[in-house]
A = this chain, B = another copy of it.
Amino acid sequence: MMSAARTTAEPLKIGLLGAGNVGSQVARTLVEERELISSRVGAPIKLIGVAVRDVEAPRDWKIPGELLTTDAEALVDESDLIIELMGGLEPAGALVERALRAGTAVVTGNKALLAVQGGALSQAATESGALLRFEAAVGGAIPILRPIQESLSGDRITKVMGIVNGTTNYILDQMDSTGAAFYDALAEAQRLGYAEADPTADVEGHDAAAKAAILGALAFHAPFTIDDVYCEGITAVTSADIEAAAASGYVIKLLAIVEKNDDGAILRVHPTLLPRTHPLASVRGAFNAVFVVAENAGELMFYGQGAGGLPTSSAIMGDVVSVARRLHGGPDRPGAAGTDGDAQRVRGLPVDDARTQYYIDMVVADREGVIAEVARVLADHHVSIESMRQPGSVSIDGEVDTEAARERGAVVQIVTHLAKEKDLSDTVATLRALDVVRAVNSVLRVEVEQ
List residues of A whose CB falls within 8 A of some B CB.
25, 29, 36-37, 40, 114, 118-119, 122-123, 125-126, 131-132, 135, 141-143, 146-147, 149-156, 159, 161, 214, 216-218, 220-224, 228, 230, 237-238, 240-241, 244-245, 247-248, 250, 252, 255, 257, 259-261, 263-268, 270-275, 277-279, 282, 293-294, 296-305, 310-311, 313-322, 325-326, 331-342, 345-351, 353-355, 359, 361, 387, 389, 391, 413, 415, 441-442, 444-450
Contact = CB atoms under 8 A, between A and B. Distances in A.
A253 to B, nearest CB: 9
A322 B222 CA distance: 19
A168 to B, nearest CB: 14
Q: How many copies does the complex hold?
A: 2
A29 B304 CA distance: 32
Contact of A318 (B150, B228, B310): B150
19 contacts: A122-B336, A141-B296, A141-B297, A150-B333, A153-B325, A154-B317, A154-B318, A217-B336, A218-B336, A221-B338, A222-B345, A248-B415, A259-B354, A266-B353, A268-B354, A296-B313, A296-B317, A297-B304, A297-B315
B154 A122 contact: no
Given A221-B340, A298-B310, A346-B260, A252 B315 contact: no
A311 B298 contact: yes
A241 B444 contact: yes
B305 A221 contact: no
Given A296-B310, A444-B252, A143 B149 contact: no
A318 to B, nearest CB: 4
Nearest to A278: B449
A326 B277 CA distance: 41
A147 B143 contact: yes
Contacts of A387: 248
A2 to B, nearest CB: 11
A437 to B, nearest CB: 17
B449 A29 contact: no
User: 4 closest Cβ contacts across the A-B interface?
Assistant: A154-B317, A122-B335, A143-B151, A230-B351
A338 B222 contact: yes
A332 to B, nearest CB: 6
Given A147-B143, A348-B265, A311 B297 contact: yes
A222 B298 contact: no
A344 B156 CA distance: 14
A279 B158 CA distance: 25
A340 to B, nearest CB: 5
A309 B302 CA distance: 22
Given A297-B141, A298-B304, A347-B222, A450 B247 contact: no
A143 B143 contact: yes
Contact of A155 (B152, B277, B314, B450): B314
A240 B361 CA distance: 10
Contacts of A247: 391
